[in-house]
Amino acid sequence: MHLLKKPWIIAVGVIPALTIYLIFSIVPIFISFYYSFMSWNGFSEMQFIGLANFKEVFQDSVFWVSVRNNILVVLASVFGQIPIALALALLLNRKIKGAKFFRTIGFMPVVISTVVISITWRMIYNSEYGMINNFLEAIGLGFLQQNWLGDPTWAMVAVCMTIIWQFVGLYFIIFLSALQTVPSEILEAADLDGASEWQKTIHVVLPSIWNIILISIVLCISGSLKTFDLIFVMTSGGPANSTEVMATYMYGKTFEGLRYGYGSAISVLIFVFSIALILITTKLLRRREVR
């Protein structure tokens, strides 16, 4: 660390990154605040309409469906991805033949583009030719067949399953590397005391990786709030708005309905909702940590 005699050099170093970051990441948020008070279709004269956009959003039942679905995705991710990943990591955290193979395949979906995953799973769920219905038929459970993405009662379930599938591997690997940092002396001491594997897991292993679990939960929440691509490609919010999330709702209103002011208002709400949820969870988890 040292001080420079010519502070302008620091400015030269920081300004390029700062400019790009400001213009293309921070300014858009303010732009959306500004446009959220306007009525504008992209071509005609803009018109100031105060809070009318927000009022309309709150009165639209489809918006509330999309909020509910966003929350469903968060819950499915937290209660699906984290426990499955943790259980698998605990199982693999021992001398096992082919451990590397399990890790490699386990992480694979995480690197695949969401669009590829969405189209693949759309075909897997296909009611006529899809893998799942064919499989159910083949094992004699044909009566369980569904039009997975075409039926409003099943579409959201199907979408959530895919989301869980996509990211279990990320937390699986995060937990695995955390497990390797658990000090072996403590585990050996527990062995000498005759602790069973279950007891060791509950009393030694889990407490020592607790911080990583908490971080993963926050990550999982903020990650699942970003769900847009997957649902947009798989169902575009349908059938009958049953899989709409806030982002797909916003996309439809703005770019298909050509209502830029209204879309900006939804953007503002997405921003506020995401930041609030992340702040609340970090706060809640932190409080528990102190205890």
Partner 1 sequence: MRESAVHYDTVSKQARKKKIVKRSTIYLILFLFTIVNAYPIFWMIMNSFKTGQEFSFDPFGLPDEWVFTNYVEAWVTANIGSYFFNSLFVGIVALLICILVGAFASYFLSRFQFRGRNMLYGFFVVGLLVPIHATLVPMFILMQKLGFLNTHLALIFPYVAFNLPITIFLLTSFMSSFPKEIEESAIMDGCGPFRIFWSIILPMSRPALATAVILNFINNWNEFSFALVLINDKALSTLPLGLANFAGEYTTNYTAQMAGLTLVLIPTILFYLIMEKQIVNGMTQGAVKG
Supply 132's token pair.
């799942």
| Residues between 117 and 176 with contacts to partner 1, criterion CB under 8 A | 118-124, 126, 129, 131, 134-135, 138, 165, 169-170, 173-174
Least separation in angstroms between residue 75's CB and partner 1 is 18
Work out which of 65, 163, 250, 281 binds partner 1, going by CB under 8 A.
Answer: 250
Beta bridge partners of residue 48, listed in sequence order: 38
Does 109 engage in binding with partner 1 (CB under 8 A)?
A: yes
Does 276 engage in binding with partner 1 (CB under 8 A)?
A: no
Pattern 41-70, partner 1, x by CB under 8 A: -x----------------------------
Q: Which is nearer to partner 1, 185 or 194 (CB)?
A: 194
In angstroms, rounded to a whole number, what is the distance separating the alpha carbons of residues 232 and 248?
6
Supply 215's token pair.
């971080």
Supply 85's token pair.
């990943």
Work out which of 49, 190, 195, 212 binds partner 1, going by CB under 8 A.
Answer: 212
Q: Which is nearer to partner 1, 75 or 123 (CB)?
A: 123
Does 235 engage in binding with partner 1 (CB under 8 A)?
A: no
Residue pair 268/36 in contact (Cβ under 8 Å)? The answer is yes
Does 1 engage in binding with partner 1 (CB under 8 A)?
A: yes
Work out which of 58, 75, 83, 91 binds partner 1, going by CB under 8 A.
Answer: 91
In angstroms, rounded to a whole number, what is the distance separating the alpha carbons of residues 18 and 28?
15
In angstroms, rounded to a whole number, what is the distance separating the alpha carbons of residues 85 and 106?
10
Least separation in angstroms between residue 77's CB and partner 1 is 14
Count the residues of the shown chain that bind partner 1, applying the rule CB under 8 A.
91
Does 258 engage in binding with partner 1 (CB under 8 A)?
A: no
Going 224 to 228 to 231 to 234, the CA torsion angle's sign is: negative
Beta bridge partners of residue 38, listed in sequence order: 48
**Backbone torsions φ then ψ of 39, nearest 5 degrees:** -110, 120
| Residues between 2 and 41 with contacts to partner 1, criterion CB under 8 A | 2-4, 7, 9-10, 13-14, 16-18, 20-21, 23-29, 31-32, 35
Which of 265, 256, 232, 249 lies closest to 42 in space, CA to CA? 256
Q: Which is nearer to partner 1, 119 or 202 (CB)?
A: 119
In angstroms, rounded to a whole number, what is the distance separating the alpha carbons of residues 112 and 119?
12
Least separation in angstroms between residue 60's CB and partner 1 is 17
Give the orientation angle of helix 210-224 with respect to helix 82-92, to 10 degrees.
140
